Amino acid sequence: MSTETPVLSVLGELVVDLLPDPAADAGPEGTAPRYVARPGGNALNVAVAAGRLGVPVRLLARLGTGPLAPALRRHAELSGVDPAGFVPAAEPVSLAVVGLGPDGSPDYGFHVLGSADWQWTDEELAAVLPAGTAILHVGSISSWTPPGCDAIARLVERVADGGRALVSVDPNIRPMLAEGPVGSALGNGRAEVRARLERLLARADVVKVSAEDLAWLEPDAADDLDATAQRWADRGAALVVLTDGGAPLRIARPGRPLVHRQPPRVDVVDTVGAGDSLAAGLFAGLLAAGVPTRAALQELPEEALLRIVDDAALVAALNCTRVGADPPTRDELAAARR
């Protein structure tokens, strides 16, 4: 991948999602449910969605051991993701067992202790970050789980200080891993996770956050999402996009009125990967509009930004019409626009 090309660099974990097979029963005793293993994880989903949209994208991920690892790499490569960001790791791949509610919303059971995703070092990150990075996107579990979260925070600070790329942060909270017995075993707790995220958010140019994340991070603030979105923008980010399921998106920029945008209505199969697909659509639009820096984002006209957000919402909506994280290609997006 040429360093002259503006690159989206996505940093985070690789997770194999075990999704229930709705066409299979659980055996005669009801004790053998059938699952399908699908590549997943916030970072992989964002990178794959961006690659399918034609964005030059490198996924920075520690590729763990085990028979599922090659499928993760192949999934990224088939979507046009640059594999040069993969770091071979001795630790195992992370695993998430997914259950689906009546509305298609996911419930997760995680098997991640000692996995490859949390072990980043400064040297590893320096070796795989491309010189042409125009947007660095971080977030989810790896960004707030030790010991690697400290190396990620230092990378974010270096990129932000350089001023030549946008920094994007998505908290993507998984409460089971952020607190409680499993979170504690990972070195996480509510106070610690909040502090680690604050360090990232303080340097972020773009923040994508869900209403569910806010309910965990700031329970009182979730009662007034409009005010919260505006406050998050006013404290430093150049753009905040707040998602709330099928409810209107909230778009906040410092010193500007809050804007609501209604996402497209679709027949939802499930919502796995919806937020990740939206983020990829947002990055694709920003890069296509020639917005690789904070200054360029601040100068982007409102009308142009809203077109980008609407496109991103359509990417997410199309993903929701399929099983699991399965975002659309650039041609599928163009057809849906028509």
Q: pLDDT, tens digit, for every residue of 74-129?
A: 999 999 999 999 999 999 999 988 887 777 677 778 899 999 999 999 999 999 99
In a domain, 213, yes or no: yes
Q: Number of structural domains, the chain?
A: 1
DSSP one-letter code for 246: B
In a domain, 169, yes or no: yes
Tokens 């040069």 map to which residue?
84
pTM beyond 0.75: yes
Tokens for 11?
């940093």
CA 255 to CA 248: how far, in whole Å? 21
Across the chain, where does the E strand assignment appear? 7-11, 15-20, 35-40, 57-65, 86-92, 94-100, 106-111, 133-139, 166-170, 206-210, 239-243, 249-252, 259-261
In a domain, 49, yes or no: yes
Domain that holds residue 230: 7-12+42-61+126-337
In a domain, 99, yes or no: no
In a domain, 35, yes or no: no
In a domain, 306, yes or no: yes
Each residue's pLDDT tens digit in the chain (338 positions)? 444 689 999 999 999 988 888 788 888 888 888 998 889 899 999 999 999 999 999 999 999 998 989 999 999 999 999 999 999 999 999 998 888 777 767 777 889 999 999 999 999 999 999 999 999 999 999 999 999 999 999 999 999 999 999 999 999 999 999 999 999 999 999 999 999 999 999 999 999 999 999 999 999 887 899 999 999 999 999 999 999 988 999 999 999 999 999 999 999 988 889 999 999 999 999 999 999 999 999 999 999 999 999 999 999 999 999 987 899 999 999 999 98
In a domain, 253, yes or no: yes
In a domain, 135, yes or no: yes
What is the CATH classification number for the domain harbouring 199?
3.40.1190.20
CA 78 to CA 286: how far, in whole Å? 23
